Chain A
Amino acid sequence: MFKILKKTQFSEKVFEFRVHAPRMAKHAHAGQFLMVRINETGERVPFTFANWNPEEGWIEFIFMVVGKTTQCLSELNEGDEIQDITGPLGCPTEIEGDRVAVVGGGVGLAIAYPVARTLCEQGKKVSVIMGARNKDLLILFEQFASLPLENLFITTDDGSMGEKGVVTLPLRRLCETDSIDSCFCVGPVPMMKFSTLTCREFKIPIVASLNPIMVDGTGMCGCCRVEVGGETKFACVDGPDFDASLVDWDDLAHRQASYKAEEAASIKHHEEDCACQK
């Protein structure tokens, strides 16, 4: 069991948990992830490490409520316990170049934030581009704003915050003005795909953190397979970061949608369950 030491609510649907896990804290790196199984009947769901402290023996992860597991997680509080957490998993993020654009979209901002923070700590010049459908879905703004960034751009689809439009608008400007050496992106598939096309135009190397569905997270089941450069790779052990210019995005998008109907059924079942208990 893993005890929740601290629960922070960033916005209506975004939370951060600090969890007691000394051994994990000692070995975690930016870009790696952990898998949570909240209770006996729970699914195994991956989250990226947001922070960790080997001296104090804790790790942190950020999540946004999008389905049943994250809904159930959000209902836990300080002092409660999570049944299983496995990690660190995956390869640490490695970004070349001194001037890096970090592009995060939607829930992907929860992954972009620790990467941006780590790059800043490494002394790199970091420009962040935050994208979301609207202002309410733009998570972790204050956390990003508190980092020593070169630039912070915000785009929303409806213009309710920052620039109206998509992340590739500021990304293109950074490329055109020769302001970046490399790029890291994480978010919805279309966002990563078009960020990649933009960078490719300017021959800027781009790394994408992929988030396919996972089951075991240790390379055993093959659920998280992605086509990269014509080869079958496993996001859990070969990734989650890949050279974005080699990723088959359509393949990834199809696989991510494999359980849409079941995800809806699961959250409905949970809501009915909660309703019964009330």
Chain B
Amino acid sequence: MPEVKYRPNIGAPRTPANEEPAEERAHDFRPVDTGYTKADAIAEANRCLDCKKPLCMNGCPVGVHIPQFIEKIREEDWAGALATIKADNLLPSVCGRVCPQENQCEGKCILGRKGEPVAIGQLERMLGDMADEVGEAPECKPSNGKKVAIVGSGPSGIACAGELAREGFDVTVFEAFFTGGGVLTYGIPEFRLPKEIVKREIKGLEELGVHFEYNSVAGRLFDADELFNEDGFDALYLAVGAGLPRFLHVDGENLPGVYCANEYLTRTNLMKAYEFPEYDTPIRHGKNVVVFGGGNVAMDAARTALRLGAEKVTLAYRRTEAEMPARRAEIHHAKEEGVEILELCNPLRFLPGPDGFVSTIELQRMELGEPDASGRRRPIPIQDSEFAIPCDVAVTAIGTRANPFAKLCADVELNRWGLIETDENGRTSNPRVWAGGDIVTGAATVILAMGAGKKAAADIKEKLLSEEA
């Protein structure tokens, strides 16, 4: 019998996301998007053109075999579809939620040229979330007797850990906090990435045999020499994250009530300040909250402020919405929930009220000039355009600098920004030390950090196993 050729459902509209109503969800921390049903997924999978040369795959930093897993969805082979993704990406539930798909897989999808691309991110997260239903952890090769230490349990560290564990390495992840996930836990809010999912992914790694050592600050509690000489590790992967926040360096920035996003989000996400006083960590609940920045972190902070009960949340950005680096979905969700975007504004100073807390922000209007090194048009201040707005909580989300712990931990060469120098495989100047993620690239995306972890894992494997031979 001849095989029936697949015929895509050309012209079908993109299956919409199942989102909670904006006016309801903006007041609590429940997930914004509840994800596709199986029927949604099959309908969406039927839109895929199953291209001979799938461009979507070129757009994926870790090379997920996208048409193949979509084909398995059409066949309702859920376990097979999940296994296909997991061969390249151990964290589909996370990536499906936080990747900037519009710049990656979906951005390359042919369907996107004339209409809406296939919702690859939605399909990916849906499969990831089915892990418990379909079961089966990927199998590990037998132990090869080599030990690898990984510093940091964020996306890069856990990607590297997963790859190495599957290859039969004995892997230990050292994490400074009391729980795993790095930025997935302290940074990305519950309503965008439920912590249960991060916990499940960590548990999955434990089932692969990865050990997690919490409360373990690299460079202070141990260093590379100790790991190699006393603890018998053969290689070290540094994935400590970008770390230190940048500040605006304007007057009044240290007033109480002015937060940097890392603190605002850590108090909320990691320490559950929104449940104060049941949880001990407090956070200031503002009525008028102003967030500075245009990235995902700024969106997360603005939407968190709404959920902490703010009456008005303004997101001030020095360029325009079109230049914002945030995922389109996050900007869309933020606006839908009531975040007001104030374009072309730069803060000049924060002023205190009678209680000593920030009460007013002075801003300056900007206009866009010639493109700068990033290719985006450079914002230029407009003379005599100062104005003030009320504000009782301000959050700055303008990026990060290098974390100093990498240097304390191992003797590796740094560049002039304090980031670790590596080759394309993550090798540092120290022959037993690899590095990847934000401490190499500066603040970037979850998937790029994961990609770096995966590459380093492959290189560590090759190096350590060839030493043996």
Instruction: Establish whether residues A257 and B260, one from each chain, have CB atoms under 8 Å apart when the complex forms.
Output: no
Chain A residue contacts of B244, Cβ below 8 A: 219-220, 222, 234, 237
Instruction: Establish whether residues B256 and A219, one from each chain, have CB atoms under 8 Å apart when the complex forms.
Output: no
B405 at the interface (CB under 8 A from A): yes
A89 at the interface (CB under 8 A from B): yes
Instruction: Establish whether residues B280 and A43, one from each chain, have CB atoms under 8 Å apart when the complex forms.
Output: yes
Instruction: Establish whether residues B356 and A254, one from each chain, have CB atoms under 8 Å apart when the complex forms.
Output: yes
Q: How many A-B residue pairs have CB under 8 A?
A: 120
Interface residues of B: mostly helix, strand, loop or mixed?
loop
- Which bracket fits the contact residues of B? 35 or more
With the chains together, A234 CA to B176 CA distance in Å?
17
* Residues 213-236 (chain B) with a chain A CB within 8 angstroms: 214-217, 220-222
* Residues 225-251 (chain A) with a chain B CB within 8 angstroms: 225, 227, 232, 234, 237, 251
A203 at the interface (CB under 8 A from B): no
Chain A residue contacts of B241, Cβ below 8 A: 220
Chain A residue contacts of B263, Cβ below 8 A: 215, 221-223
Instruction: Establish whether residues A262 and B220, one from each chain, have CB atoms under 8 Å apart when the complex forms.
Output: no
B422 at the interface (CB under 8 A from A): no
Identify which of A41, A85, A221, A258 contacts B280 (C-beta below 8 A): A41
Instruction: Establish whether residues B405 and A218, one from each chain, have CB atoms under 8 Å apart when the complex forms.
Output: yes
With the chains together, A225 CA to B257 CA distance in Å?
13
Identify which of A216, A234, A258, A266 contacts B277 (C-beta below 8 A): A266
Closest CB in chain A relative to B187 CB, distance in Å: 9
B266 at the interface (CB under 8 A from A): yes
Instruction: Establish whether residues B254 and A255, one from each chain, have CB atoms under 8 Å apart when the complex forms.
Output: yes
Chain B residue contacts of A266, Cβ below 8 A: 276-277, 280, 282
* Residues 246-272 (chain B) with a chain A CB within 8 angstroms: 247, 249, 254-257, 260, 262-263, 266-267, 271-272
With the chains together, A41 CA to B249 CA distance in Å?
34
Instruction: Establish whether residues B282 and A27, one from each chain, have CB atoms under 8 Å apart when the complex forms.
Output: no
Chain A residue contacts of B275, Cβ below 8 A: 41
Instruction: Establish whether residues A218 and B176, one from each chain, have CB atoms under 8 Å apart when the complex forms.
Output: yes
Instruction: Establish whether residues A219 and B221, one from each chain, have CB atoms under 8 Å apart when the complex forms.
Output: no
Instruction: Establish whether residues B176 and A27, one from each chain, have CB atoms under 8 Å apart when the complex forms.
Output: no
Closest CB in chain A relative to B221 CB, distance in Å: 6
Residue ranges of B at the interface with A (Cβ–Cβ < 8 Å): 176-178, 186, 214-217, 220-222, 241, 243-245, 247, 249, 254-257, 260, 262-263, 266-267, 271-272, 275-282, 284, 356, 403-405
7 A–B pairs (Cβ distance < 8 Å), ordered by A: A41-B272, A216-B177, A220-B241, A221-B267, A234-B244, A251-B254, A258-B256
Instruction: In the A-B complex, list the 7 residue pairs whose CB atoms are closest, starting with the nearest.
Output: A262-B282, A43-B280, A258-B256, A269-B277, A221-B263, A84-B178, A222-B260
